[in-house]
Each structure stands twice: as C-alpha cells, then as structure tokens.
Amino acid sequence: MADQPADVAETEIAAMRRALDLAALGPFSPNPRVGCVLLADDGSVVAEGYHRGAGTPHAEADALDRAGEAARGTTAIVTLEPCNHTGRTAPCAQRLVQAGVRRVVFAQPDPNPVAAGGAETLRAAGIEVVSGVLAEESRTLNRAWSRSVELQRPFVTWKFATTLDGRSAATDGTSRWVSSAAARRDTHLLRAECDTMLVGANTVAVDDPLLTVRDDAGNPLPRQPLRAVMGLRDLPETRRVFNSDAETVVLRTHDPHAALVELWGRERRHVFLEGGPTLAAAFLSAGLVDEIVVYVAPMLLGAGRTAVADLGITTIGAAMRPRVTDITVLEPLPGDGDEEPNVRLTMEMH
C-alpha cells in the first residue's frame, strides 16, 4: 500500500476499504464504480451507499439519502472525487455541501474533465478535503474506465488463445479447442468485466460465435456486454450473434478508429477484442490495443493460422514489445478430463 496522507485517521482508511468493497458491487460502464461511507465524529458508520448504474443516484447521494439529517457534521469517505457537473443526476459536490458534511476524504481524482472540480467546490464551501487515500486501489477498481476517459475512447483488451508455437488454428481451420476448459471459464470472467465484445464479420461468418458471458453450465448471465460486429460484409440473421441473448450492433467499417468512435458514442468504455488475425493486426497497427490477454496451451502444431496477421515488421528491432503485468497458471478442475494447465499472460501496450 502506498503512503497515505498524514492527516487521515485509521478509521477513515478502514472506511475507504469498505467504500471500495461497496463500489465493486455496482456495474461497470458508462459510469465508474463508486462507493461512499459517512462517518460520525467517533468513527462510527452513519450510512453507506454505492452507485448502481447510469441514471441512478451516485454513491454520495445514495449515502446521504439513507442518512437524512444525520449526515450533518459527518465525514464522507468516497472512492472518487465527488462530481461537479449536472448530468443524469445533480452534482455530488453540491449535495455534500447542502447536507452539511464537515469533511470529505476521497481516493482518486476524477479524470473526467467534465465532472472534475468537486474538490474545489467543497473547499470553497468551507469543507475540509483530503485526497489520495487508497488512490491506487480505487484506480485499479476503475482501471479501464479511468484509462478510457483519459484516452477519450474505449479501452481495448485484445484476447486470444495460442499454441506454444503461436498458432491459433490448425491448417484445416480447426481451433476448438486450442484453449482449455479452465481458460475458457477464465475468459468468461474477463468478458463480464467489459461492456463490449468486438469481432470481425469474417469471424461471425466462419466461427458463428455466441459472444455472450455464460456460467459453467453454458447459460447466459443476466448482464451481457454489447456484441459488436465490425465489417462491410452482409451476414445472415441466422448467425448466433444475432439471437436474443444480448444486444448486437453492426459497425459498417474496416477502420478501427471509426469503430471506437461509434462505440464511444454508445457510451462504451471497455472493448474486449476477440476477432481473428486480420482484425487484431488492424487494431495493433493503429495503436489501439491497450492490453493483451493471451492463453498459451501446451500444444504444438507447426503450421496453421497465426494469432495476428502481418504487421509490416521486418526486423527484430522494430518488434512490438508489450510489458508483462501478470502470469497465471490455470489448473484444470475435476471433470475437465486429462487437460494440461494453460498459462494466462496479461500485458499492457502503453
């Protein structure tokens, strides 16, 4: 844990941890996950709240509504700087002022220039403000959202599965299953953390994927990411991606920039790129891949389709070199048969 501001009590740090736990209960996108705990002078909890999605009360408003008049004189512990703008709801900074909160302790400054400035509003009203408490933990919770706001486009995670020799399919086109059952379960956990699944039209035509988040029994979960199909090719409505399990949009372009602009306009903040080698090469060449997740199977093919198409790189010195941030061995579970463990590598491009 990084050093915390000197003027923060242990009870406030503990309350911030609780606020982060509350924030994690909320859905991701298009708004950040935010939690709030109101503390009395003796450190006891007066009320708690968290944001439940776009159009619902923000975490501070949720906690203030629950506290009522008891909010006056409290310390508000918030995982993100209180917003300072009117969107679907009123500014949280003003709500805190009106409620008579004495002190505000928040974790991460708001990276959104439209919503930022809440700290100044609070200080101007005479409220004591402390920032930076468990800031890294808060940023980790909202990692993709924070980066997308900074980039002003969706954060892009490219996921693929490969053999030891870098093949995503055999020469006859078969690819089921390069990854293990454990890797596929893990993929669904990662899919659930994004708001958009993106593939190319050719992947839909050839592989006919569902592109849904499913449980271990194969049933779709209640909350589903948007399914986005990118390309100019017309596709039959019988493809599974057009079923009723989730919403699907067709992006009529081959340009990754144009695709992300449209998805940003749809308030999408985290794209999970699962297309084939051509689509992957297009996003990599455009500099639009932020994170790579690759499942490596203990398997050799010697030939077949590669995970990414030609990037125009002709010398080793020009190679793209993502930074490895995590290595996890995915062990098979009972019932997975005699499958060998897969390795998940997580890397960042920037």
| Domain 153-348 class, CATH top level | alpha beta
Unique residue bearing structure tokens 């844990």: 1
- Residue-level pLDDT at 337: 87
Catalytic annotation, pick one of 60, 81, 274, 291: 60
pLDDT at 62 over 70: yes
- Residue-level pLDDT at 286: 97
Contact call for residues 47 and 38 (beta carbons, < 8 A): yes
Taking only the tens place, the pLDDT of each residue in 201-244 is 999 998 899 999 998 888 888 889 999 999 999 999 999 999 99
User: In DSSP terms, which residues pair with 197 in a beta bridge?
Assistant: 227, 272
> In 3D, which of 74, 66, 128 has the Cα closest to residue 101?
74
| Domain 10-142 class, CATH top level | alpha beta
- Residue-level pLDDT at 217: 83
Taking only the tens place, the pLDDT of each residue in 31-57 is 899 999 999 999 999 999 999 988 899
Residue 7's pLDDT band, with cuts at 50, 70 and 90, is confident
Residue ranges matching CATH 3.40.140.10 in the chain = 10-142
pLDDT at 87 over 80: no
- Mean pLDDT (whole number) for 112-130: 89
Unique residue bearing structure tokens 């919503």: 115
Residue 131's pLDDT band, with cuts at 50, 70 and 90, is very high
Taking only the tens place, the pLDDT of each residue in 153-203 is 999 999 999 999 999 988 887 787 889 999 999 999 999 999 999 999 999
Supply angle C-alpha 83, 76, 87, rounded to 5: 20
* CA dist., res. 137 & res. 140, Å (int): 5
Residue 115's pLDDT band, with cuts at 50, 70 and 90, is low
Residue ranges matching CATH 3.40.430.10 in the chain = 153-348
- Residue-level pLDDT at 28: 77
Tokens of 52: 């439940």
Q: Is 237 noted as a catalytic residue in this protein?
A: no
With left for phi above 0 and alpha for psi between -120 and 50, is residue 231 left, alpha or beta?
A: left
